[in-house]
Amino acid sequence: MRKLLFVLAAAGITAFTAQSCKTMQKPANTDDADLITEMTLPSTVKAGDPIMVTFTVKNPGSKDRQFLKWQTPFEGFLNDFLDIRNPAGELLEYHGPMVKRMMPPPAESFITVGAGQQQTGSTDITKVYHIKLPGTYTVEYTGTSMSGLKKVNKAAFTVVQ
Protein backbone atom coordinates (compact mmCIF):
# COMPACT_ATOMS: atom_id res chain seq x y z
CA MET A 1 0.00 0.00 0.00
CA ARG A 2 2.84 2.39 0.86
CA LYS A 3 4.51 1.69 -2.50
CA LEU A 4 1.27 2.45 -4.31
CA LEU A 5 0.84 5.76 -2.46
CA PHE A 6 4.47 6.69 -3.15
CA VAL A 7 4.10 5.90 -6.87
CA LEU A 8 0.87 7.91 -7.10
CA ALA A 9 2.42 10.86 -5.25
CA ALA A 10 5.50 10.80 -7.50
CA ALA A 11 3.32 10.65 -10.61
CA GLY A 12 1.29 13.63 -9.39
CA ILE A 13 4.43 15.70 -8.74
CA THR A 14 5.83 14.80 -12.17
CA ALA A 15 2.57 15.70 -13.90
CA PHE A 16 2.33 19.01 -12.02
CA THR A 17 5.96 19.89 -12.83
CA ALA A 18 5.58 18.99 -16.51
CA GLN A 19 2.41 21.07 -16.83
CA SER A 20 4.06 24.03 -15.05
CA CYS A 21 6.99 23.93 -17.47
CA LYS A 22 4.65 23.92 -20.48
CA THR A 23 2.95 27.14 -19.32
CA MET A 24 6.14 29.16 -18.78
CA GLN A 25 6.40 32.09 -21.18
CA LYS A 26 9.26 31.70 -23.61
CA PRO A 27 11.08 34.49 -25.45
CA ALA A 28 9.65 35.10 -28.92
CA ASN A 29 12.74 33.98 -30.83
CA THR A 30 11.75 33.44 -34.41
CA ASP A 31 14.89 32.29 -36.21
CA ASP A 32 17.93 30.15 -35.53
CA ALA A 33 20.53 32.93 -35.09
CA ASP A 34 21.52 33.11 -31.41
CA LEU A 35 21.96 36.42 -29.69
CA ILE A 36 25.63 37.21 -29.08
CA THR A 37 26.57 38.98 -25.85
CA GLU A 38 29.80 40.88 -25.40
CA MET A 39 30.68 41.42 -21.73
CA THR A 40 33.14 44.27 -21.21
CA LEU A 41 34.86 45.81 -18.21
CA PRO A 42 37.54 48.49 -18.00
CA SER A 43 40.96 46.86 -18.44
CA THR A 44 42.46 48.77 -15.48
CA VAL A 45 40.75 50.42 -12.51
CA LYS A 46 42.00 52.22 -9.44
CA ALA A 47 41.23 50.51 -6.11
CA GLY A 48 38.00 51.91 -4.70
CA ASP A 49 36.65 53.24 -8.02
CA PRO A 50 33.40 51.95 -9.54
CA ILE A 51 33.78 49.02 -11.96
CA MET A 52 31.11 48.93 -14.63
CA VAL A 53 30.26 45.63 -16.31
CA THR A 54 28.55 46.18 -19.65
CA PHE A 55 26.61 43.71 -21.76
CA THR A 56 26.11 44.47 -25.44
CA VAL A 57 23.58 42.01 -26.84
CA LYS A 58 23.74 41.72 -30.63
CA ASN A 59 21.20 40.11 -32.94
CA PRO A 60 22.91 38.91 -36.13
CA GLY A 61 19.70 37.27 -37.33
CA SER A 62 17.09 38.45 -39.79
CA LYS A 63 14.22 38.55 -37.26
CA ASP A 64 13.68 40.22 -33.89
CA ARG A 65 14.81 38.24 -30.85
CA GLN A 66 14.08 38.55 -27.13
CA PHE A 67 15.88 37.72 -23.90
CA LEU A 68 14.86 37.90 -20.26
CA LYS A 69 16.52 40.87 -18.52
CA TRP A 70 16.54 39.08 -15.15
CA GLN A 71 20.07 38.33 -13.92
CA THR A 72 21.73 40.71 -16.38
CA PRO A 73 23.15 44.25 -16.13
CA PHE A 74 19.95 45.45 -17.87
CA GLU A 75 18.17 44.98 -14.53
CA GLY A 76 21.08 45.49 -12.13
CA PHE A 77 21.96 43.23 -9.25
CA LEU A 78 18.82 41.60 -7.88
CA ASN A 79 20.55 38.19 -7.93
CA ASP A 80 24.06 36.84 -8.23
CA PHE A 81 24.80 36.27 -11.91
CA LEU A 82 28.59 36.62 -12.07
CA ASP A 83 31.47 34.48 -10.90
CA ILE A 84 34.28 36.87 -10.02
CA ARG A 85 37.64 35.44 -9.00
CA ASN A 86 40.35 37.41 -7.22
CA PRO A 87 44.04 37.30 -8.22
CA ALA A 88 44.49 34.14 -6.09
CA GLY A 89 41.68 32.41 -8.03
CA GLU A 90 39.22 32.50 -5.11
CA LEU A 91 35.54 33.13 -5.82
CA LEU A 92 34.36 36.46 -4.41
CA GLU A 93 31.28 36.45 -2.21
CA TYR A 94 28.15 38.19 -3.52
CA HIS A 95 26.76 40.83 -1.09
CA GLY A 96 23.54 41.85 -2.80
CA PRO A 97 19.83 41.05 -2.85
CA MET A 98 18.50 37.64 -3.85
CA VAL A 99 15.06 38.25 -5.34
CA LYS A 100 12.59 35.39 -5.73
CA ARG A 101 10.50 35.50 -8.90
CA MET A 102 7.04 34.40 -9.88
CA MET A 103 6.81 32.41 -13.08
CA PRO A 104 6.07 32.93 -15.86
CA PRO A 105 7.92 36.24 -16.29
CA PRO A 106 5.68 39.15 -17.30
CA ALA A 107 6.06 40.53 -20.84
CA GLU A 108 7.85 43.68 -19.60
CA SER A 109 10.69 41.50 -18.28
CA PHE A 110 11.82 40.73 -21.83
CA ILE A 111 14.00 42.94 -24.00
CA THR A 112 13.62 42.83 -27.77
CA VAL A 113 16.69 43.16 -29.96
CA GLY A 114 15.76 44.04 -33.52
CA ALA A 115 17.22 42.17 -36.48
CA GLY A 116 20.77 43.41 -37.04
CA GLN A 117 20.53 45.62 -33.94
CA GLN A 118 22.01 45.63 -30.44
CA GLN A 119 21.06 46.63 -26.88
CA THR A 120 23.48 47.72 -24.14
CA GLY A 121 23.13 47.62 -20.34
CA SER A 122 25.61 48.34 -17.52
CA THR A 123 25.86 48.08 -13.75
CA ASP A 124 28.55 48.65 -11.09
CA ILE A 125 29.95 45.39 -9.67
CA THR A 126 31.50 47.14 -6.65
CA LYS A 127 27.99 47.65 -5.23
CA VAL A 128 27.73 43.90 -4.53
CA TYR A 129 31.32 42.56 -4.56
CA HIS A 130 34.18 43.69 -2.30
CA ILE A 131 37.04 44.37 -4.70
CA LYS A 132 39.95 45.95 -2.88
CA LEU A 133 43.17 44.03 -3.52
CA PRO A 134 45.40 44.92 -6.47
CA GLY A 135 45.76 42.34 -9.22
CA THR A 136 43.83 40.77 -12.08
CA TYR A 137 40.26 39.54 -11.53
CA THR A 138 38.33 37.26 -13.89
CA VAL A 139 34.59 37.49 -14.54
CA GLU A 140 32.26 34.82 -15.92
CA TYR A 141 28.51 35.13 -16.54
CA THR A 142 26.37 32.50 -14.76
CA GLY A 143 22.81 33.72 -15.45
CA THR A 144 22.36 31.90 -18.76
CA SER A 145 19.62 29.56 -17.53
CA MET A 146 17.46 32.53 -16.50
CA SER A 147 18.12 35.13 -19.22
CA GLY A 148 18.64 32.79 -22.17
CA LEU A 149 21.85 34.61 -23.15
CA LYS A 150 24.10 31.70 -24.13
CA LYS A 151 27.00 33.23 -26.02
CA VAL A 152 28.72 35.40 -23.40
CA ASN A 153 32.50 35.83 -23.32
CA LYS A 154 34.65 35.75 -20.18
CA ALA A 155 36.37 39.00 -19.17
CA ALA A 156 39.03 40.33 -16.83
CA PHE A 157 40.13 43.58 -15.22
CA THR A 158 43.14 44.68 -13.21
CA VAL A 159 42.95 46.69 -9.98
CA VAL A 160 45.86 49.06 -9.29
CA GLN A 161 46.64 51.23 -6.26
Q: What is the mean pLDDT of residues 119-145?
A: 97
Residue 19 domain flag: no
pLDDT at 150: 92
Per-residue pLDDT band for 25 (boundaries 50, 70, 90) equals: very low
Q: How many CB atoms lie within 10 A of CB 100?
A: 6
Q: Which amino acid is at 81?
A: F
pLDDT at 21: 39
Q: In what order do the strands lie in the sheet with 151-152?
A: 118-124, 52-58, 36-40, 151-152
- On whether the CB atoms of residues 137 and 157 are closer than 8 A, the answer is yes
Residue 88 domain flag: yes
| Closest listed residue to residue 65, CA positions, set 30, 94, 39, 96 | 30
In tens, the pLDDT along 87-115 reads 999 999 999 999 999 899 999 999 999 99
Residue 96 domain flag: yes
Is residue 135 pLDDT above 80, yes or no? yes
In angstroms, what CA-CA distances link 106 with 27, 39, 46, 47, 131?
11, 25, 39, 39, 34
pLDDT at 32: 54
Report the domain count for the chain.
Answer: 1
3-state SS, residue 127 = helix
Residue 20 domain flag: no
Residue 112 domain flag: yes
pLDDT at 51: 98
| CATH value at residue 108 | 2.60.40.2970
Is residue 18 pLDDT above 90, yes or no? no
E strand or H helix that includes residue 39: strand 36-40
DSSP state letter for 7: H
Per-residue pLDDT band for 33 (boundaries 50, 70, 90) equals: confident
Residue 67 domain flag: yes
pLDDT at 7: 40
Q: Tell me the pTM.
A: 0.78
Q: How many CB atoms lie within 10 A of CB 20?
A: 11
Q: How many CB atoms lie within 10 A of CB 88?
A: 7
In angstroms, what CA-CA distances link 133 with 16, 46, 80?
49, 10, 21
Residue 3 domain flag: no
Question: Poorest-confidence range of 26-30, 64-68, 86-90?
Answer: 26-30
Could you give phi then psi for residue 111, rounded to 5 degrees?
A: -115, 130
Could you list the beta-strand ranges (E) of 9-154. 36-40, 44-46, 52-58, 65-68, 82-85, 110-113, 118-124, 135-141, 151-152
Residue 2 domain flag: no
- Domain holding 141, by residue range, is 27-160
